[in-house]
Amino acid sequence: MAAPLSTLVLGLGLFFLGIQLIGMSLRQLAGASFRTLVQRTTHSPLLASLVGLVFGGLMQSATAVTFILVGLASSGLITTRAALPIIVWCNVGLTALAFLTTLNIHPLVAWLVGGSGIAWGVLQRLRPRAGAGVLLGTGLILFGLDTMSSGVAPLATTPWFRHMLAIGLGHPLVTFAIGIVAAALLQSNTGASMLVITLAGAGLFRLPEAALLIYGSNLGAIALRSILSLGMHGRSLRLVRMEDLFCVTSGLLMLALALLESAGVPLVLASVGTVTSGVRLQLALVFLLSNLLPALALTPLLGFCHRLLERLFPDRPAASPGAPVYLTSQALGDPGTATLLLERELARLVGLLSVKPEPSPDGEHQPDPAFVELGLAIEQFAARLAATGALSEAQAARVQALRGGLSTIRHLEDAVGDACIALGRLGESPAEVEVVREVTDTLNGLIRDAAAVADRPAPDAVKALLERTRKRGELLAHLRQRVDPDRVTPAGSGRLHVVALLNDVEVVVWIVHRLAKTLALLAEHRS
């Protein structure tokens, strides 16, 4: 008895490892393509549904797809309404992997695990290594399932084990609940369904019991998402709850169909029985239908679902002006989206700057606490993102550019503070009042433009900002003319204040020019 149990545990361990490896590798491999396709197809619900179908099959995790969409919605690249078809139909796509368990590819598994394992250990570039990781994870899943089948086969004929199963799976609701627990432990309804299909193929479960376990598995991932979504609110939480709504709809719908079928109404099991007599393929089709039927039911109701979610989970204002709006711990799982969110927060940081006369007896400028708070949050998030080790070369370059941009913005805040103090020192003569007004308006306009370009660093906008802030450009030439000490004030202490203001203004413009160079680098390294 010890040998079958140890074989079962070995297979389960390999299965767990394969599930984790394939999920991690697929997110690294498909994340950038997914973001690009989502942005291009959000105008069409049909195309968005197809994108969800394809990337559900590729990424094998509705939770992973959902959290990438959370990042895109948080950054403003897509709307929550446009993301709903993707969330619904990615659940249908992820059933593709379950059909692998129906294939007899045992002779190829050893070659798949060995070859991909060697490649995964040797390759250093992120994308080729991630591709090898997908193959290795798939091989480990198949090897683990095959090993579990070998361990379960002797147990399936053991009287005490059969009796224990009969007690545990003796009631439909209990069986359904066990499916929920299994998916929660595996953190994957696909993994739980594949496990059920394999064990049923080895004779451990009958078809009705296995179907109920699969139906329950769709609800199991809700617990994990509830933990991952802690601290979320507004549009981010609405997307997570949409995936939960799909799972609840799937679980309740399929449970109702199963109870009707147990009462003698031919439905799901009768349908798959007409297609094939093989229990593994029957259960793979059951898994497909458990996601396809709720997707078909919910798709016409997505507008209503969106309005309901908006009412239940409204947007909340930030706790303070300096609190991050876009940065969440969940975004660290998708480096491409995380860099976009960092970009948005940097733009907010620039937007917190403001030029206004600031009387200061000691000549010292005190930074706005909101600016300090947000700057620290950006710095910490960028450090955590860099420490994940999951960045491609282009993503690492972007993060480095973003950290350089943060340093430049902090220098800009110092320069703006000095200019505010210099403005506060000017007198009340008409010429000095006019200089204060014009410098304040011009620099605030420049800062607003810099924040807008930082929010969306398109090459043309960056080029225009670089041109505007050139050392010998029209902007500085105009300001030098307006802040001319000979024109503004006669000789004396007032003249020194005007000279100091001109120096501070030139520093502000020069630092904005430096920031524009950083934004040009970001535009170059967009992925």
Q: What tens digit of pLDDT does each residue of 273-298 get?
A: 899 888 889 999 999 999 999 999 99
Answer whether 201's CB lies under 8 Å from 101's CB: yes
Band (pLDDT 50/70/90 cuts) for residue 350 is very high
- 10 Å CB burial of residue 303 (0-12, 13-18, 19+) is exposed
d(CA 187, CA 185): 5
Per-residue DSSP letter, 264: T
Phi, psi dihedrals of residue 184, rounded to the nearest 5°: -65, -40
Weakest-pLDDT range from 17-31, 123-137, 414-428: 17-31
The enclosing H or E element of 91 equals: helix 80-93
The two three-digit tokens of residue 270, written as one number: 């009768």
Answer whether 113's CB lies under 8 Å from 12's CB: no
Weakest-pLDDT range from 30-44, 414-428, 436-450: 30-44
CATH class of 329-524: mainly alpha
Closest among 151, 153, 150, 146 to 110, alpha carbons compared: 146
Residue 527 has pLDDT above 50, yes or no: no
Chain Cα centroid distance, residue 133: 20
The set of residues, in sequence order, having a beta carbon less than 8 Å from that of 41 and lying 6+ positions away, is 47, 48, 50, 51
- 10 Å CB burial of residue 518 (0-12, 13-18, 19+) is buried
Question: Please, what's the b/e burial string for 482-493 (b: 16 or more CB within 10 A of its CB; e: otherwise)?
Answer: bbebeebbeeee
d(CA 449, CA 6): 65
pLDDT of residue 22: 75
pLDDT of residue 5: 66
Q: Which string of DSSP letters, residue by residue, matches 70-88?
A: HHHHHTTSS-HHHHHHHHH
Residue 59 has pLDDT above 90, yes or no: no
Between 393-425 and 335-351, two packed helices, what is the crossing angle to 10 degrees? 10
CA dihedral 13, 89, 25, 231 (to 10 degrees): -90
d(CA 86, CA 72): 13
Closest among 281, 6, 279, 283 to 150, alpha carbons compared: 6
Contacts of 162-169 with CB under 8 Å at 24 or more apart are: 165/204, 165/205, 169/205, 169/209
Q: Integer distance in angstroms from the first to the last C-alpha of the chain?
A: 54
Task: Break the chain into its structural domains and give their ranges.
Answer: 2-312, 329-524
pLDDT of residue 295: 95
Q: Express as a percent the part of the chain with pLDDT over 90.
A: 22
pLDDT of residue 31: 59
What SS3 state is found at 457?
Answer: coil
Residues counted in the chain: 527
pLDDT of residue 460: 87
d(CA 276, CA 135): 29
AA letter at 181: V
d(CA 443, CA 449): 10
Rounded average pLDDT over 478-507? 75
Residue 507 has pLDDT above 80, yes or no: yes
Phi, psi dihedrals of residue 360, rounded to the nearest 5°: -145, 105
Q: What is the Rg, in whole angstroms, of the alpha carbon atoms belonging to the chain?
A: 30
